[in-house]
Amino acid sequence: PVMREAGSAAPKKTDASAARATVLRNPVVLRMVAIRALSGVYETIFPSLQLYYFTFVFKMDKHQRFLWLAVSGAIMAVAELGPTPLWAKLFTKSTTAMLYVPLALRMVDIVAAPLMVLFVKDVYVFMVYLFVWRFCNAAFSYWKVAACAWVCDHDGGDREGMILGVFTMVTNLGRAVTSAALVLGLGWAGLRTTICLEDEGVERDACEADKINNQPESLTMYLQVMVGVMAPLIELVVCLLTWEFPIRPGSQMLDDICKKQTESYRSRTSPKATCHIVDNDDSGDSDAAGRRPSTTTSTMSPPQHQTLPQTHIGRSAFSFEVPEAGRESPVCSPPSLDIGGVS
C-alpha cells in the first residue's frame, strides 16, 4: 500500500513525442523548421565538395590544393568576420535592416554564383566568389538567431528548450543527409578512384596526375552544377521563406511578443510596499488625554537581505522578521502593480 500511494502521488511524466507533435503543428514553428533545414543543406554543399572542386575542376595536385585551401580559408574568414562590427551596430539600431539587408545581400550572391562559377573556370575569380559568398551570407545569421528567439517567445511557453532542440535537430539532419548525398553523387557522376600508395617516386607522381586528369567531364560538370546552380536555388527558397515569415519588423505578432515580454519583466520587478509603523508597546493603550497612539504611513523597501518570492502577475509577497515586544513593527499592505494601466 505504501508503494502504491507513493506511485500515485508521483508526478506524471510528460509524453515527449506528444509534446513535439504539438509544437510541430504550429505553422510558425514549421516555417522556421523549413528555413533551418534548408540552411543546413545550403551551408554543407560547398564545404563537402571544396576539396574535390579544387582537384578535379582546377586540376590541382596536393601541393597546390594545400596552398589554395589555406588561401580560401583566410579569404572566407576575413569576409565573414570583418564586417561583424558593422552588422552588430546596424542591426542594434534597426530590426528592419536586420531583415532586408541580409535578403538583399543574398540576392546578390544568387546572381553572382552562376556567373562566377559556371562561365569562368579560373581560380582567382573563384577566390573572389568565395569572398562575395561569405560576405553576403554573414549578415543572415543575425536574423536567424533573432527569429528563433521570437518563435520561442511567441509559442514556446515552457517548451522553449524543445523548440530550440527541434531547430538544431533539423539543421544537423539537413547537413548530414546533404553530405552523404553529395559524396554518393560523386560516384554517380563517374568518379574514378585509383590507389597510388604502392608506387614511389616518379611512378607515384604519374599515378596521381593520371587520377586527376583522366576523370570524365561529367564529374567536372557535377561539381560546377552543385556549387553554381543547386546551391543558389536552395538559397533562393530560403530567401522566399524568410521574406514570407510572419514574425517580422512592423508585424502585429512581433508587437504582441514585445508587449508580452514587457509585462513579464514588470511582473518580476519588486515594487515598494506601503507600511504603517505601529507602536507595539503594551504598557498603555492610550495616553493621558485618552488618545490612541498615532500611526505613521510611510513607504519602505524590503530589507536587502530578504529574498522576494516571484509570484504571478498582479500579486507579490514580502516576508519580514517579527520584531521583539516594545519595538515598532512594520505592517505592510499589499503592493500595487501598474501593468497596462491596471493597478
pLDDT for position 317: 43
* SS3 assignment, position 41: helix
Residue 205: its pLDDT value, please? 85
The label of the residue with cell 543558389 reads 232
3-state secondary structure of 332: strand
Coil, strand or helix at 298: strand
Q: Which residue has the cell 596526375?
A: 209
Residue 271: per-residue pLDDT: 54
Q: What is the pLDDT of residue 35?
A: 96
Q: Which pTM does this prediction carry?
A: 0.71
Q: What's the rounded Cα separation, in Å, for the pair 93 and 107?
A: 23
pLDDT at position 156 is 61
- How many Å apart are CA 8 and CA 5, to the nearest integer? 5
Per the listing, cell 562590427 goes with 85
Taking the chain (343 residues) in consecutive chunks of 10 residues, what is each chunk's mean pLDDT? Answer: 49 57 79 95 95 94 92 96 94 92 96 93 95 96 92 79 91 96 94 83 86 92 96 97 91 86 75 48 50 49 46 41 48 46 43
Contact between residue 56 and residue 215 where contact means Cβ atoms under 8 Å apart:
yes
